Chain A
Amino acid sequence: MHYANTYLERPVVGDLENVAQEGTTKVLKCMLNTGSDIYQGACKKRGSTLKEEYKNASGTCYMDPRDMVKLGVKNWDTVLVKTDYGEVVLNAAKSRDAPHEGTIFVCKGPWANTIVSHETYCCSDPTYKGIHATVEKTDRKVLLMADLMRWVYKKYVDEEDDDVVENMESLGERPVYNGRKWEELIDHDI
């Protein structure tokens, strides 16, 4: 069956002009903003949250090109972002809204959640924007959604044992549950 396609493996970002091989800064101090963009929204609401696509749409840190040069990162390299509330590994990409030197933008999603503030200051709404953060280059990989949820919340694994969580097999890009009968239930040929 021919379906109109709304899938896009990763968001479209601009090319970087001059990337230095070695960055001049190891740890960059900046302001973290979160919010939504069209790629994240489309992927999330289609329901493709386990997929690589969601990881690229939501687990990406959009940076000013000058900041990327300072750190020596190229598009789709990985960076470690830390705040007072946690840390997470993200893809780095040139922001479509640049220039905004000193500010990074991460789309909402499980990745951003680990680093935003839960402080509501008695106003019901957590502080999702304007949080102090540091960014550094890293070799670690960005985790897929299911793996990230397991790594962060450890609801169904032994939480004492960090090693187990680190070395566990990836949960992958498909729902995991016993005896997937649902394929028989409906015609499924997307």
Chain B
Amino acid sequence: MTYEPPVTDYDHIVENCTCAFCGCNCDDLDFLVKDGHVVAVRHACRLGASKVMEDMDQRLLVPMVRNEEGVLEEVDWDTALDTAAKYIAESVRPVFYGWSETSTECMKEGVELGEYIGAVLDNQATICHGPSLQAMQNAGYPIQTLGEVKNRADVIAYSGSNAMNSHPRHLARYAAFPRGYFRQRGRFDRTVITMDPKFSDTAKMSDKWIGFEQNGDYGFYNALRAVLKGKKLQSESVSGIPAEDIYELAAEMEAAEFGVLFFGLGLTHTLGKQRNIDIAIKLVQDLNTNSKWGLTPMRGHFNVNGFNIFMAYETGWAFGVDFCRGYGRYMMGETNTIDLLVRKEPDCFMVIAADPGAHFPNGANQHLANIPVIQIDIHWGPSTELADVVLPGSFISVECGGTSYRMDGVPIWMKKAIDKPETCRDDEWIVRELKERVMKLREEPNVADEYVPNEGLACLLDK
């Protein structure tokens, strides 16, 4: 990398903007604006800065529809919205996937549309922290806010998460480095432990690296729990970690005044899936007998947690909610996007602020090649290559305000800093328009038939 002089040529600064990248939702960014463009960003990390100073080459600016030759053609908003609404209204098993990079206000419109038409609503949790949400239903959710971590925590453990690469300011702003009320000396008052098969960039910054084997997480956490309960380990090493090290680690974790376990996709993507998280949560519960511990999933997108909180509040389930029977249903492994696509069930797929083209396995994406795909996004990405209708949205927290939820569940209002390109629309507006147009095309909402108990049952009920 070469030295770059600081940007001095700007018209004004917009202070205290929120970063719309990862679940840290850093809300202390300053945007330097010139001629209606953000030309530089202060305080953000490499990821945040690069997202805010987007690539205008690939910005979607005009609504587009595929023509018969399979080429995207620019159309006006009315045509694009009508085409999309027609696809949705004519489908029997639509899936609305995404939502994690848009505002909670937009989700509200989405859930109304989904309920009306009988769609499946799902978000990126299905391919990242879905198992974590399932584990929380199994084992509980001992959480704390990031502010508590900053002010109190003296032991920070990262498990299966490479924060330095995926949440670069997490250590600097919340976990390891900041000086807090009870941690006046910042990093010197804290111990950082990283558990990861790789010697990752986070491990390089830690005081301790536990490099258990690939797929060895479940065994390792069980061993740790056994030791915490005062048991003796029968074998010399567990998951590639020598028994002495496990004893030492257990003692260190138990001696913490306030410990926090941050866990990432390293745990949810390996074979144990939700069982890995179950055991991590139980480990935190065990540690709480003698010490004080909490845990937080390292959520990837800035509002992925928002969708889960919003859906749990509105429908009772955090993600993968299926309205096709006229009432909400949720069944792990059945009503989730990947499973639906692999089974080739959906006949219409709406992607909003997400990129399945970039993040779904081939086996699932294959089905997107057979069905109409509607994309609402701001950039031309891998999903655009599979999309039949493209609706250009606006950039939340830069061009449009909105509410998002941080990884610890704290809601944050993200304000608008500059105007959006004239031809784009807000996500919320697009989804509302779609909803209204679909309602015109399909007059009856999708509701379950009235429940009529059969006669035998009816007389049982009478008694």
The residues of A with any CB-CB pair to B shorter than 8 Å are 1-6, 8, 12, 31, 33-38, 41-51, 85-86, 96-100, 103, 105, 108-110, 113-118, 120-130, 145-146, 149-150, 152-157, 174-179, 181-182, 185-188, 190
A98 contacts across to B, CB distance below 8 A? 199
Interface residues on B, range: 35 or more
Q: Does B385 contact A (CB under 8 A)?
A: yes
Cross-chain contact of B49 among A4, A8, A176, A186 (Cβ < 8 A): A4
**Which one, A4, A123, A157, A176, contacts B4 given CB within 8 A?**
A4
A–B Cβ pairs within 8 angstroms, 21 of them: A1-B9, A1-B35, A3-B53, A4-B53, A41-B166, A42-B51, A46-B54, A49-B381, A97-B203, A118-B338, A118-B364, A120-B342, A123-B333, A124-B130, A126-B127, A128-B265, A130-B270, A149-B357, A155-B385, A178-B71, A185-B62
Q: Are B62 and A35 in contact (CB under 8 A)?
A: no
* B456 in contact (CB, < 8 A): no
- Give complex CA distance A38, B162 in Å: 10
A172: min CB distance to chain B, Å:
11
Q: Which 10 A-B pairs have the closest CB atoms?
A: A122-B333, A156-B70, A118-B363, A47-B379, A6-B50, A124-B336, A149-B385, A124-B130, A4-B40, A118-B361
* In contact, A1 and B34 (Cβ under 8 angstroms): yes
The answer to whether A110 and B333 touch across the interface, beta carbons within 8 angstroms, is no
For residue B35, which residues in chain A have a CB less than 8 angstroms away from its CB? 1, 187
A114-B54 in contact (CB<8A): no
Collect the chain A residues with CB atoms within 8 Å of residue B57's CB: 48, 174-175, 188, 190
Whole-angstrom CA separation of A149 from B164 in the bound complex: 30
Known: A124-B336, A179-B74, A181-B74. A41 touches B379 (CB 8 A): no
Q: How far is the CA of A92 from the CA of B418 in the complex (A)?
A: 41
Q: Are A149 and B50 in contact (CB under 8 A)?
A: no
Tell whether B287 is near chain A: CB-to-CB under 8 Å. Answer: no
B61 at the interface (CB under 8 A from A): yes
Q: How far is the CB of A173 from chain B (nearest CB, A)?
A: 8
B44 vs chain A, min Cβ distance (A)? 10
Which of B79-87, B175-183, B365-373 lines the interface with chain A?
Answer: B365-373
Considering the complex, give the chain B residue whose CB is closest to the CB of A156.
B70
Residues of A within 8 A of B366 (CB): 153
Residues of the A chain whose Cβ atoms lie less than 8 Å from the Cβ of B274 = 123
Interface of B is mostly: mixed
Q: Are B73 and A177 in contact (CB-based, < 8 A)?
A: yes
Q: Determine whether the beta carbon of A47 is less than 8 Å from that of B126.
A: no
Contact of B59 among A47, A123, A177 (CB under 8 A): A47
> Which of B131, B274, B361 has the most A CB atoms < 10 Å from its CB?
B361
B357 / chain A contacts, CB cutoff of 8 Å: 110, 149
Known interface pairs A3-B40, A145-B382; A46-B50 also in contact (CB < 8 Å): yes
Among A43, A149, A150, residue most surrounded by chain B Cβ atoms (within 10 Å): A149
Q: Is the CB of A47 within 8 A of B380?
A: yes
B interface residues with partner A (beta carbon < 8 Å): 1, 4, 7, 9, 21, 34-35, 37, 39-41, 46-47, 49-51, 53-59, 61-62, 64, 66, 69-74, 126-128, 130-131, 134, 162, 164-166, 168, 197-201, 203, 214-215, 265-266, 268-271, 273-274, 300, 319-320, 332-334, 336-339, 342, 355, 357-366, 368-369, 378-382, 384-386, 421-423
By the criterion CB–CB under 8 Å, are B361 and A8 in contact? no
A103–B355 alpha-carbon span in the complex (Å): 27
* Assembled-state Cα–Cα distance A35/B342 (Å): 21
Least distance between B198 CB and chain A CB atoms (Å): 4
* Given A47-B378, A153-B369, CB of A35 within 8 Å of CB of B162: yes
* Interface pair B58/A85, CB less than 8 Å apart: no
In the bound assembly, the distance between CA atoms of A150 and B215 in angstroms comes to 34
**Which interface residue of A6, A37, A178, A188 has the most chain B CB atoms within 10 A?**
A6
Residues of chain A within 8 A (CB-CB) of B300 are 36
- Contact between B59 and A150, CB atoms less than 8 A apart: no
Task: Report whether B362 and A86 are in contact in the complex, using a CB–CB cutoff of 8 Å.
Answer: yes
Contact of A153 among B34, B49, B128, B386 (CB under 8 A): B386
Contact A190 B73 (CB under 8 A): no
Is the CB–CB distance between A129 and B382 below 8 Å? no
User: Is B54 a contact of A44 with CB atoms below 8 Å?
Assistant: no
The one of A36, A113, A157 that contacts B166, using a Cβ cutoff of 8 Å: A36
CA distance A123 to B270 in the complex (A): 11
| Cα–Cα distance between A45 and B56 once the two chains are bound (Å) | 12
Contact in complex: A129, B62 (CB < 8 Å): no
From known contacts A5-B4, A125-B127, A126-B361, infer whether A45 and B422 are also in contact, taking CB-CB under 8 Å: no
Quick check: A47 and B58 within 8 Å, CB to CB? yes
Q: Does the CB pair A2–B9 fall under 8 Å?
A: yes
A48 touches B55 (CB 8 A): yes
User: Given B49, B336, B355, B359, which contacts A120 in the complex, CB threshold below 8 Å?
Assistant: B336
Residues B198 and A126 in contact, CB atoms below 8 Å apart? no
B residues less than 8 Å from A177 (CB atoms): 64, 71-74
Tell me the complex Cα distance, A5–B2, Å.
Answer: 10
CB pair A113–B360 under 8 Å, yes or no, is yes
Q: Is the CB of A38 within 8 A of B47?
A: yes
> How far, in whole Å, are A48 and B381 apart by their CA atoms in the complex?
8
Chain B residues closer than 8 Å to A108, beta-carbon distance: 358-359
Contacts A4-B39, A6-B50, A43-B50 given; does A12 touch B385 at CB 8 Å: no
Also in contact, A175 and B380, with CB within 8 A (given A37-B165, A149-B357, A185-B421): yes
* Cβ–Cβ < 8 Å partners of A45 in chain B: 21, 47, 50-51
With A1-B35, A123-B131 as known contacts, state yes or no: A181 contacts B379, CB within 8 Å: no
Given contacts A6-B49, A100-B199, 20 further A-B contacts (CB under 8 A): A2-B39, A4-B4, A4-B41, A42-B47, A98-B199, A117-B361, A118-B360, A125-B268, A126-B338, A126-B363, A129-B214, A149-B357, A155-B385, A156-B71, A177-B72, A177-B74, A178-B72, A185-B422, A185-B423, A186-B422
